[in-house]
Amino acid sequence: EDQVTQSPEALRLQEGESSSLNCSYTVSGLRGLFWYRQDPGKGPEFLFTLYSAGEEKEKERLKATLTKKESFLHITAPKPEDSATYLCAVGGGGADGLTFGKGTHLIIQP
């Protein structure tokens, strides 16, 4: 059974204070490690997909990295508009959906 654990559950940072969110996973046959952003009252918004250990992807202040057991979402010099819940998910097959973690609720204070 695929499992995804995200930590911390919640994180409060000052504007400009860089940090990382963790996603640990176990899956048989990884078909992708996904990061999503979710704002209150909205659906998850796709950020990144990583497929192999050592892969990195960047988007604005966010950078996602992948190892064989975990992924990190690094946020550099965050702004208040980066406040959201960040979800990690793994895909273990072709069409049978993703397994999600419970998310990290990130608050960036001005």
Partner 1 sequence: NAGVTQTPKFQVLKTGQSMTLQCAQDMNHNSMYWYRQDPGMGLRLIYYSASEGTTDKGEVPNGYNVSRLNKREFSLRLESAAPSQTSVYFCASVIIGHSGNTIYFGEGSWLTVV
Q: Rounded distance, CA 31 to CA 94, Å?
A: 8
| 61 touches partner 1 by CB under 8 A | no
| 32 touches partner 1 by CB under 8 A | yes
Interacting residue with partner 1 among 28, 68, 81, 94 (CB under 8 A)? 94
Interacting residue with partner 1 among 49, 67, 76, 83 (CB under 8 A)? 49
DSSP 25-70: EE-SS---EEEEEE-TTS--EEEEEE-STT-EEEETTEEEEE-SSE
| Residues lying near partner 1 in the complex (CB under 8 A) | 31-32, 34, 36, 41-46, 49, 51, 87, 89, 91, 94-103
